[in-house]
A and B are shown apart, each in its own frame.
Chain A
Amino acid sequence: MDKKIILRSLLVVATLVGITVLQMCKPQAPASVSGSDAAVKAYVPPGQYDEFYNLVSGGFSGQMSVYGLPSGRLFRVIPVFSEDPTTGYGYSEETKAMLNTSHGYVPWDDLHHPAISTTNGEHDGRWVFGNANNTPRVARIDLKTFRTSEIIELPNSGGNHSSPFITENTEYVVAGTRFSVPVGDKTDVPISTFKENFKGYISFISVDPKDGKMNIAFQLKTPGVSFDLARAGKGPSHGWFFFSCYNTEQAYTLLEVNASQKDKDFIMAVNWKKAEEYIAQGKGEKVKARYARNRYDESTHTATSEMLTEVLQLDPAVLKDIIYFIPCPKSPHGCDTDPSGEYIVGSGKLAALIPVFSFTKIQQAIANKDFEGEFAGIPVIKYESALHGEVKKPGLGPLHTEFDANGNAYTSFFVSSEIVKWNVKSLEVLDRVPTYYSIGHLCVPGGPTRKPHGKYVIAYNKITKDRYLPTGPELTQSAQIYDITGDKMKLILDFPTIGEPHYAEAIPASLIMPQSTKIFKIEENNHPYVAKGEGQAKVERKGNEVHVYMTAIRSHLTPDNIEGVRVGDEVYFHVTNLEQDWDVPHGFAIKGAANAELLIMPGETATLKWKPLSVGVYPFYCTDFCSALHQEMQGYIRISPAGSNVPLKYSTGKTDDTAAGAGR
């Protein structure tokens, strides 16, 4: 043993220690490990039910998805604004009308926000509304059937983003335009005349408390800005509505820069009770407009579309006291009222603080005419006069705020990718957790209501990057669930979502589950082409239209042999599912169908239109694995040349040619 070896060894050890120390100094990526009890908290054992339904917007998918919380399990994707070849929504003769607009049939859209109906500011579990951000529309989905019941288009609107937020008793669903647009007779104008000709319209859609039917009650004509989000007042502030708006610079190009110039944009406070008073006094003006309203009738299983031609408008620049502006820092996005209805949280997406306004102070400021001036004829309340206080240094890029039942707020931060919990009264920051990555909206069950159910906060993220196994350049979007029952928020689950999730709401299963429809009663089916039993199945020719009144029951279609149909005919398969048993849908598909297939629920009738283009025998079959003999649930239609005199005939279970060995 000599000194050399010892020295060498020491050198090696020293180098290793040095490298280790260096490594330790290098900044680490934020750890994303959740607590050890996380799995237990999100675990719902097989066969057991989740505590909440989570209704999640599908963003660019145009649909709404239904998840369970806390398991994050996906139950269903409800077709709303986009056609769905799986179920035939938008393709079947019955549902085509749902996607009709003043621009014709628009088969897709961009759904951003669900809003569950409320009574006295609390979830009542009747309907969920959704907005179409592209071709401005609002949809109403029935929470008994989880089907879209009605879609109403919005005239004078250029992108329905500030929607479909609702008042305390679902009196109104609002729809504020994201794009101001030129309206009326002056629509062919230079874009540069924005200030002069472009207007922003806010629509108040009334909802019939009995059956939910929607109607545009009135529109407010407001200065040309962009409306972003909104929330109704509640409790003491019931009767008011608050809208965030950006681009008060009234820029029409490179908004990224030009709409970010002003230090403050506005939150617009709307006294809708005042608007109702003006309407009662006959101060509204009926204006020509053209917009579609599509309703689905559950008794005929058929949607009809009507084109409406008039809308009632009010001009708040003339009719005073309907709207007021409140300055809000840096292009506000979220505009959320707390459960008490006293506090309104504005989230400037470029701001480094969160202003919280007080409804009481706003009322005082209005009474004292505490205004700093006017914007396009509308009074602007002084910022300080309306302010309850500011949350200092909460994070970067606040977007949206939800609330729990204990006076706490949860704000999402896109830029700093985190959720920050703070106290609404004291404005003190209490906790923060990272999200993966770049959270947009967030959801506390019952968060927008007067009685939040609490328990969880869910983050809906824009970027997933390295969170899941990669699937090429196109990756899933995702959500994360955090337990908020303790002082500290704890990540308990991470799950992928359909489309890009924007806003979502969660409602206790107990408010939805007991009333969920299981079947449609066949006796109550008033479809004009229903066959209420195999005895009523038939084929009728009307000129070149052939109507097949078909029935489906385990495991055959009636009729399953059809002849005497010719090239050039239009064949309508009206398929009635005769089952009256839960979870026994039947499907219908035919070779060469250029549109879609059908999925027909028990007791329902749906129609697929099919145009045979060439001579031959075409197979059709049931696409839903309904029974042990599902594979046998099939049939043929014979297509003869145009002008052929093959007689029309149809049957099931009839064997003509026993000599050839056919049949039994």
Chain B
Amino acid sequence: MNPIKRISRGVVAVAALLMISAYFVPLWQILMWAPQYPEGLEMKIWIDTLSGDVKIISALNHYIGMKHIEVEMFPEFGYMIYIVAVLIGVGLLAALWGKRLGLWIFAGLLVATGIAALVDFYLWGYDYGHNLDPTAAISIPGMSYQPPLIGTKQLLNFTAFSGPDIGGWIFMVSAVMAIGALVYEIYINRTK
């Protein structure tokens, strides 16, 4: 077992602690603009809820047969708090343990969680954009309305943007710190 440097343990601990912010700030955001909404509409995704103009977005989307967005639609809001707690715990344990394997586990988990979250979000977006009420007022053959995974997309009269919010950015910082610590450990051991 390769012990890791003190600095790496510190970095890992800070990375884990930073993720506590996930309970207090939004993680993801979807922004929308249309000619009638120059001020924009926003939907913020938190660890256990949604906020912003969700009702207005739903009211507008019902014309094309999209589902009414409700917090209850997302089982993720029930268990995301535990997943993040586990991530923080693993990070702190890895720092305490001080072995490179711990670092591998933590960084790996972080990356895996990130990828899983994006896949989950993509699948929801696919369903939300494709699984439309056949009796909707506006039905354009061949048209689907899957929101962008990351980035900007034009959907009828709306320009939609999807991307990380404060919490998401902090998560990425944590991941970069964890991977950075790992890379650093591998690098200094090789030069020895």
Residues of A within 8 A of B (CB): 553-555, 579-581, 627-629, 632, 664
Chain A residue at minimum C-beta to C-beta distance from B138 = A628
* Interface presence of B55 (CB below 8 A): yes
Q: Give every chain A residue within 8 A of B135 (Cβ-Cβ).
A: 664
CB distance from B175 to the nearest CB of A (A): 37
Please name 19 pairs of A and B residues whose Cβ atoms are closer than 8 Å in the assembled complex, sorted by A.
Answer: A553-B59, A554-B59, A554-B60, A554-B63, A555-B63, A555-B137, A579-B59, A580-B55, A580-B56, A581-B53, A581-B56, A581-B59, A627-B63, A628-B63, A628-B138, A629-B63, A629-B137, A632-B137, A664-B135
CB distance from B144 to the nearest CB of A (A): 19
Cα A247 to Cα B50 in complex, Å, equals: 70
Chain A residue at minimum C-beta to C-beta distance from B36 = A583
CB distance from B50 to the nearest CB of A (A): 15
Within 26-63 of B, Cβ neighbours of A (below 8 Å) are at 53, 55-56, 59-60, 63
CB distance from B138 to the nearest CB of A (A): 8
Cα A416 to Cα B68 in complex, Å, equals: 67
Residues of B within 8 A of A (CB): 53, 55-56, 59-60, 63, 135, 137-138
Q: Give every chain B residue within 8 A of A579 (Cβ-Cβ).
A: 59
Cα A370 to Cα B75 in complex, Å, equals: 88
Q: Give every chain A residue within 8 A of B56 (Cβ-Cβ).
A: 580-581
CB distance from A557 to the nearest CB of B (A): 15
The binding surface of chain B is classed by DSSP as helix
Cα A629 to Cα B55 in complex, Å, equals: 18
A-B contact sample (8 more), CB < 8 A, given A554-B59, A580-B55, A632-B137? A553-B59, A555-B63, A579-B59, A580-B56, A581-B53, A628-B63, A629-B63, A629-B137
Cα A189 to Cα B174 in complex, Å, equals: 91
Cα A619 to Cα B92 in complex, Å, equals: 68
Cα A464 to Cα B59 in complex, Å, equals: 49
CB distance from A599 to the nearest CB of B (A): 19
CB distance from B3 to the nearest CB of A (A): 57
CB distance from A494 to the nearest CB of B (A): 32
Chain B residue at minimum C-beta to C-beta distance from A582 = B39
Q: Give every chain B residue within 8 A of A629 (Cβ-Cβ).
A: 63, 137
Q: Give every chain A residue within 8 A of B59 (Cβ-Cβ).
A: 553-554, 579, 581
Q: Give every chain B residue within 8 A of A581 (Cβ-Cβ).
A: 53, 56, 59
Q: Give every chain A residue within 8 A of B53 (Cβ-Cβ).
A: 581
CB distance from B62 to the nearest CB of A (A): 8
CB distance from B157 to the nearest CB of A (A): 10
Cα A555 to Cα B59 in complex, Å, equals: 9
Chain B residue at minimum C-beta to C-beta distance from A664 = B135
Q: Give every chain A residue within 8 A of B138 (Cβ-Cβ).
A: 628
Q: Give every chain A residue within 8 A of B55 (Cβ-Cβ).
A: 580
Q: Give every chain B residue within 8 A of A555 (Cβ-Cβ).
A: 63, 137
Chain B residue at minimum C-beta to C-beta distance from A653 = B135
Chain A residue at minimum C-beta to C-beta distance from B57 = A581
Cα A628 to Cα B60 in complex, Å, equals: 10
Chain A residue at minimum C-beta to C-beta distance from B135 = A664
Cα A664 to Cα B56 in complex, Å, equals: 27
CB distance from A554 to the nearest CB of B (A): 6
Residue among A554, A555, A581, A664 with max Cβ neighbours from chain B (10 Å): A581
Q: Give every chain B residue within 8 A of A554 (Cβ-Cβ).
A: 59-60, 63
Cα A581 to Cα B137 in complex, Å, equals: 21
Q: Give every chain B residue within 8 A of A627 (Cβ-Cβ).
A: 63
Cα A579 to Cα B56 in complex, Å, equals: 8
Chain B residue at minimum C-beta to C-beta distance from A554 = B59
Residue among B56, B59, B135, B138 with max Cβ neighbours from chain A (10 Å): B59
Cα A632 to Cα B136 in complex, Å, equals: 13
Q: Give every chain A residue within 8 A of B137 (Cβ-Cβ).
A: 555, 629, 632
Cα A580 to Cα B55 in complex, Å, equals: 8
> Which are the 3 A-B pairs with shortest beta-carbon distances?
A581-B56, A629-B137, A554-B59
Cα A554 to Cα B63 in complex, Å, equals: 9
Q: Give every chain B residue within 8 A of A664 (Cβ-Cβ).
A: 135
Chain B residue at minimum C-beta to C-beta distance from A629 = B137
CB distance from A308 to the nearest CB of B (A): 43
CB distance from B163 to the nearest CB of A (A): 24
Cα A555 to Cα B137 in complex, Å, equals: 10
CB distance from B161 to the nearest CB of A (A): 20
Cα A378 to Cα B174 in complex, Å, equals: 84
CB distance from A73 to the nearest CB of B (A): 19
Q: Give every chain B residue within 8 A of A632 (Cβ-Cβ).
A: 137
Chain A residue at minimum C-beta to C-beta distance from B137 = A629
Chain A residue at minimum C-beta to C-beta distance from B59 = A554
Chain A residue at minimum C-beta to C-beta distance from B53 = A581
Chain B residue at minimum C-beta to C-beta distance from A583 = B36
Cα A581 to Cα B55 in complex, Å, equals: 9
CB distance from B55 to the nearest CB of A (A): 6
Cα A484 to Cα B179 in complex, Å, equals: 67
Cα A627 to Cα B56 in complex, Å, equals: 13
Cα A365 to Cα B52 in complex, Å, equals: 66
Cα A627 to Cα B63 in complex, Å, equals: 10
Q: Give every chain A residue within 8 A of B60 (Cβ-Cβ).
A: 554
CB distance from B145 to the nearest CB of A (A): 16
Chain B residue at minimum C-beta to C-beta distance from A580 = B55
Cα A628 to Cα B138 in complex, Å, equals: 10
Cα A579 to Cα B59 in complex, Å, equals: 9
Chain B residue at minimum C-beta to C-beta distance from A581 = B56
Cα A587 to Cα B141 in complex, Å, equals: 33
Chain A residue at minimum C-beta to C-beta distance from B60 = A554
Cα A664 to Cα B53 in complex, Å, equals: 32
